[in-house]
Copies of this chain bind each other. A is one copy, B any other.
Amino acid sequence: MSGNRVALIGSGCWGSAIAKIVGLNVMNQPDVFEKEVLMYVYEEIIDGAKLTDIINLEHENVKYLPDIKISPNVIAVPDVVQACTNADILIFVLPHQFVKETCEKMASAVKPGALGLSLIKGFVLTEGEGIQLVSNIIKNTLDIETAVLMGANLATEVASEMFCETTIACHNPEYHGILSKLFQTPYFRVKVIENVAGVEACGALKNVVGIGAGIVDGLGFGDNTKAAVIRLGLMEMMKFTKVFLESDDISVFFESCGIADLVATCHGGRNRLLGEAVVKSMKYICHSSYFEPFCLSRLFSAAAFSYNHSSRHMMFQVLYSHHMAKNSCLVFTYFIYE
């Protein structure tokens, strides 16, 4: 096991935080990995200079993760085909809406037998095909085994080396060791399991509950109410997994990708901010311009609504309420308990 070449596909805030970890781990384990890590960067001009040039000169993504140094063996390139050519491990960390077209560009260049790894939290809505797992899009477009990495990993805190855990899931146990070696650090603790779909669903669904938690905050409720929404949200996530993934494996919810990510999202995530903003602005969430990047919630709500119309699905009620008033929190809770 040596000479594994790693490539990063994406370089936003989370991508840059991960580049810092992966860059150092690759450099420190020359018996396992090739030293150079190519990182695909969507080219932008910052103060007259190319972002790729800035990253390669200053070893810092000044736009998306300022003040955090990335090790110099991570090389930014603006061409995704160049980035992925010859790579044995492809780490995907870009907005979910760009995954399919990026994979299609890469398809002819990707090495047969390469391993994909998705760090993208969310589902993808494909025209006429409903909701899909991001890992399935990567796997099917590139014809490669695809793993996922999810956890309570707010990017700026990871970049600042505040302790956290993460969960990696890969069907093939032969890859578990190398994935652990690629990501584990003293402050970023890795657990590798096999349930890819379960881990990926956790990473997507917790955002819906995060919006609910933000609504609770916006309405001025306290820690009891928020804890109830988190608990009920966890129950909804389990139910969703059971129905749509046909999985009874609840152990995944005890990993970092489950309860820990849910708690972190409900307290520090941007979906929580969205929920709070919606209440405070008194706009309907479906009219909010904030909402477009978070289409997951709409999908989940619609899906939940379609499979059991009669009761128990709180988020639909909350998100689509036409009376976002003080008592809407109670409205959805009645809904659950009916």
Contact = CB atoms under 8 A, between A and B. Distances in A.
Contacts of A157: 221-225
A35 interface: no
B186 A330 contact: yes
A231 B253 CA distance: 10
Task: Report the interface size class on chain A.
Answer: 35 or more
Interface string A146-169: 000000111001101011110000
A131 B264 CA distance: 33
B268 A223 contact: yes
Contacts of A226: 263-264, 267
Max chain B CB contacts within 10 Å: which of A228, A261, A330? A228
A170 B110 CA distance: 60
A9 B163 CA distance: 44
Nearest to A337: B189
Contacts of A235: 254
A221 B162 contact: yes
A17 to B, nearest CB: 11
A234 interface: yes
B154 A223 contact: yes
Contacts of A152: 223-224, 227-228, 231
A236 B152 CA distance: 19
Interface of A: 152-154, 157-158, 160, 162-165, 186-187, 189, 221-228, 230-231, 234-235, 254-256, 258-261, 263-264, 267-269, 329-330, 333-334, 337
